Structure formats: C-alpha cells, structure tokens
Amino acid sequence: MCESPARCTITEHGLRCTAQRESVLETLRQAHDHPTAETLHERLEGVSLATVYNALEAFAKVGLAQPIALAGGLTRWDSTMGLHAHVRRSGDDRLEDLPEDLAGNLLASLTPRRLEQLASRLGGRIRGVQVTVLLDDEPTST
C-alpha cells in the first residue's frame, strides 16, 4: 500500500519517488490554473526551482504531465493527460480548461481515423494533440 496517491503514481510509472517529486506532482494535480514551473516553485517549500523543472521533465517523459508551450516562450504545465481543450483570453497568459460541454463537440471531431489521416498526410506520427481556443473578451458584432 502506498503512502499517498502521488507516491503510488510516480512509482507505477517507473520513476524513483522522492519527497520533492511527490510534492511537485501533488501541487500540480491540485492546481487548476496550469502553472508555470516558477509558479509551482513559489507554492512549494523546500524544493528548488531546478528540482521542479527536473520533476516536470521526468513526469512529461512518462505521461504524468504535459507541457503547454505558449507564445513568447512561456510554458505552462497540466496534469490532465486525457484529450481536453483550453481557452486563453487575449492579453492574458493564463490558461483555463474549456468547459467539457463546450469542448465535447470540438474534440469529438478528432477521431482516431482523422488523426491517422493527419499523420499520414503530414508524414509523421502524432504524439499528442493540444487544442487551445484563443478568446477576445470583446463581444463580436453580428
């Protein structure tokens, strides 16, 4: 029996579980704001920024976290690995999950067959899909 869900998950994914890695994963899983490594570092006591970066990279390699690269070199992190969509509002570098009821139809169009067609046409293997809706807060005129 594992001491915590994070500890179980880390070891089940073949990583050595340290107290720092456990803290990073727990904090990332509790975050709903898709934090940067720096933001995670600020939320953790006794964990160096280098350790946060190293833990996130290790988690990404085994499928426990995914980096979301934004314009300007900013990277946010997400522990939700299933297919879902994000929304980013103009003038803001925050990232939110698109509500499931709004994301459903959008993501439903990304069928395995369609993804296979994309991969074939592009000449590669699709490693993942990130859907981000960019939103201007100003209402559009109709």
Q: Give pLDDT tens digits for 88-134.
A: 888 888 899 999 888 888 888 888 899 999 999 999 988 778 888 88
- Going along the chain from its start, the domains and CATH numbers come out as 5-78 (1.10.10.10), 85-135 (no CATH)
What per-residue confidence (pLDDT) applies to 4?
Answer: 87
> What is the distance in angstroms between the CA of the first residue and the CA of the last residue of the chain?
59
- Which pLDDT band, with edges at 50, 70 and 90, does 139 fall under? low
State pLDDT tens for residues 9-63: 999 999 999 999 999 999 999 998 999 999 999 999 999 999 999 999 999 999 9
